[in-house]
Every structure is written in structure tokens, then in C-alpha cells.
Chain A
Amino acid sequence: MSSVIIACETIQDEVMKAIFETGTKFPVIWIESGLHNYPEILRDKLQDQINKIANVDEIYLAFGYCGNSLLGVHSEKAKLIIPKVDDCISLLLGSCKIREDLAQEAGTYFLTRGWIEHENNIIKEYNRCIEKYGKEKATKVIKMMLEHYKCLVLIDTGAYLTKDYLHYSHSFASSFGLEHKIVHGSISFLKRLFTGPWDENFIILQPGEVINIEYFRNVVDPESKLSQL
């Protein structure tokens, strides 16, 4: 059985840790970071990579649904195995339920080293705005963006040193009156993606089958593809 992993560069730390801990030998193709705000571009890049892969039986997608980025993605020749998560935050916290529980307490903005370094996160946006519009306007705009947020969470996935980013996230949270928390994450989802067994938390598509929005929602027909393990 030959397999390949396609993963989002934003979660590279966690993917590499999961690979190390599971002893996975499959090659990894990285999809560049910074595309989370542009799901159609992300989808096209992902599909383009899948189309270039030949002579493998299985492709593991280390992605969440990420704002319809996976919608329509398919492989003509290989089986696709995908975690059933809304986005990579759920993937790094261990489940959508944990994310939902955390977010229910208050509007929560999540960060990891990958998001801080590679994505256009809120802190980068603030600094960019200061340069472009001045501090007063930048502060006003970011306050608008964070109006319903109450908490900033740095996820400790165990794949990077949170102490290196603590000051960065904490000082921003203080500036905007957000509670700052460090929450323990988990790479167990990624490890299970690479090793199996794949339960109802994973979607398995046969060659030619197309990723559908309903696979990721809660109202799933029990006879659907989710149960075809």
C-alpha cells in the first residue's frame, strides 16, 4: 500500500511531530500557508497537487474543511482520507467539540506558532495597519474586528515552545482587553490520520468521489460515506 500526505504548511510543526511519533514514512507535500482567507485559491492549489500524484493508493489530507476549501476536491486514482473537522484549529485541539466548548465560553481567537509565523493573523494585521493608517486608526479597526471576541488562546500543541510566543500573544491580548489563555492541544487527530484506524471522525472517499459539504456537517446520513470504512 503506497500513500502520500498533503498538508497545510501552517500546521507543519504538528504534522512533523505526528510523523515522528508514529514513525510514518510517507512523503509529505506542503501546501503553502497564507491562503486561509482565499478558500478558492487554496482549493485550486490542493486539487492541482492531487492531480499530479500518480501510482499511490491513498492520499491523507491534513486539512480541515477551512471555509469550503475542500469542497469539490477529489482524486481520480487514489482513496482520500480526511479528518472530519471544520478547520485546522479543531484539528490541533483534538476535536470540533473541544473547539465548540472553548468558543462557547466567549468569542475566542486562536493562535499557534504556525498561525503567528505564516498566516495573516490579527496581530500582523494590527502592525500592518499601524504602518498604513497610523496607530489611532489601526486600533479602532482592530477593535471593530475583535468587537465580539473576549479571549485570545495560544494552543500548546507540544510541537513548538509556547514560551517563545507568549509575550507576543499576551501583549496583544492586554492591549485589546482580551483574556489570554494557553490551552493544551493535541496531535492525536493527525496521528490517527496517518496510522488509522479511521472512525466516524474521518471521511474516506473512494477514487472519483468528490468532497461534499454534507460530509462535514452534523446531520449526516448514517449510510453515507462516513460509515464506509
Chain B
Amino acid sequence: MPVVHNLLVTAVVGIREEKVLFLVRQGLSKGIDPFLLLEDIRVGLKIVGDMYTQGKYFLADLIVAAEIYKEVQKLVLIDTDQNCVQNPEIIFGTVQKDIHDIGKNITISTMQHYGLKVLDLGVNVSPEDFLKSLVDTGVPILCLSGLISDSYDSMKTTVSLIKNNEKLNQTTVIIGGLVNQAVCNYIEADYWVNDCTTGVEICKRIIEKKYQLQA
């Protein structure tokens, strides 16, 4: 049913919540795979994200679009409870001195969409708390988020602690938010991203590689 899929993507891009929910209900009633419907929403969200980067949408629009995604998740009965993550694969948090978490939350939703298990440590997380969490869980990926310049120093300190801990020499650090290659070089992180889809792809690749090595 390509027409439904196109309409759904268009409705998400237009941030038209009622229309999106109507189309999802219609799709479900016609037996369309819920994952395909969610995938359409994700495609629409990616376009919304690109339009935000181009200055065509504002942050609030991005949030409304992400909220639509959450409503659709509820419709297709996907469990997104953050507080009971068993065997997480990724630790995520906004670094010390920073409290911005919109981008983090949207990225975590996208990661869950792809079946990744994320432990969210919240905001203003100290380097020591990240370290403890990594040691306790043995999680291979750490995602650090930050939107203000002070966050760069918190990220750098966190990376330094990890690199100096021999138990964590296989940990991959990904930074996101207001970052670029120069910031990544300064922090000495492994990757930098400023869109959630790229972040998900990197995480999936790392986790797949880990399972291949264990097999």
C-alpha cells in the first residue's frame, strides 16, 4: 500500500499529528506491519530533522514531531519504558554542566525503534558516574550529549577517565549535540554525530561487530 506510506511520510513532514495517527490506525486496521508504519514515521522525522538543520523548522517543531512518533509507538504497543532496561548495549547521558536533553531523548527513541537497548543516565551526569556505569554494566558504547561549550570539557574529562581505565579500553565513545570534527578531535572521542540516524547506524555497526567477535 505505497499510497498510505507516502501519505504517512508527508503527514509527518508537515507535523500533522491527527492526520498521522489517523493514517496509522487505518494502516493497522488493514494489516500493515507496524514496523513498516514506524519506519515511515522515522523517514518523515529524518526529513523534519533536515529541515530543522536548514532553518525551515524550529526546535519546538522537532519536539512536536518526536511526540507524534511516541504517540504512534503507543498505538502499535511498543514498550518504551526507560526505567527497566535489561542488559543495556548503550549508555547515554547529557554531560556535567549541561541540562539539554531534547536531542538525547529523540535519539534514544530512534535507537529503541531499531531494537537497541539504551540506559539513559539523564542530564548533568558527572564523568565519574559515566565511568562507574560503564564498569558496572560492561556496555561497549557510551553516547555523550551536550549543547553548550562547557560540555566539551566535561566530555573531554569523561573520555580521559575511560581511556585511562584498562577495563574500558574497548569502549567506543560517540559525542552528539553541538559538535563537529574539531570538537571530536579536542575531546578525543571516537565518533561525532549531529543527527540521530547516523548515531544509530554507528551503534548498530559496533554492536554487530561485537557479536561477530564473540561468535
Chain A residues with CB under 8 Å of chain B are 37-39, 41, 65, 67-68, 71-72, 86-87, 100, 103, 107, 120, 125, 128-129, 132-133, 137-138, 140-142, 144-145, 147-149, 212-214, 216-219
Q: How many B residues are at the interface, by size bracket? A: 20 to 34
Chain B residues with CB under 8 Å of chain A are 55, 58-61, 63-64, 67, 97, 99-102, 123-124, 147-150, 152-153, 156, 178, 180, 182-183, 186
CB distance from A207 to the nearest CB of B (A): 21
Q: Is the pair B99, A149 in contact by a Cβ cutoff of 8 Å?
A: yes
CB distance from B116 to the nearest CB of A (A): 23
Selected from A39, A103, A141, the residue in CB contact (under 8 A) with B64 is A141
CB distance from B56 to the nearest CB of A (A): 11
- With known contacts A213-B182, A213-B186, A145–B153 Cβ distance under 8 A: no
CB distance from A83 to the nearest CB of B (A): 13
CB distance from B27 to the nearest CB of A (A): 23
Residues of chain B lying within 8 A (CB to CB) of residue A65: 149
Selected from B60, B123, B149, the residue in CB contact (under 8 A) with A148 is B123
- With known contacts A125-B58, A145-B60, A71–B99 Cβ distance under 8 A: no
Q: Is the pair A145, B102 in contact by a Cβ cutoff of 8 Å?
A: yes
CB distance from A72 to the nearest CB of B (A): 8
What is the CA–CA distance of A214 and B148 in the complex, to the nearest angstrom? 15
What is the CA–CA distance of A148 and B182 in the complex, to the nearest angstrom? 28
Q: Is the pair A219, B153 in contact by a Cβ cutoff of 8 Å?
A: yes
Residues of chain A lying within 8 A (CB to CB) of residue B182: 68, 71-72, 212-213
Residues of chain A lying within 8 A (CB to CB) of residue B178: 39, 67-68
CB distance from A82 to the nearest CB of B (A): 14
Residues of chain B lying within 8 A (CB to CB) of residue A219: 153, 156
- With known contacts A68-B180, A68-B182, A71-B182, A147–B101 Cβ distance under 8 A: yes
Q: Is the pair A129, B101 in contact by a Cβ cutoff of 8 Å?
A: no
Residues of chain A lying within 8 A (CB to CB) of residue B67: 140-141
Residues of chain A lying within 8 A (CB to CB) of residue B180: 68, 71
Selected from A39, A100, A128, the residue in CB contact (under 8 A) with B60 is A128
CB distance from A48 to the nearest CB of B (A): 17
Q: Is the pair A120, B149 in contact by a Cβ cutoff of 8 Å?
A: no
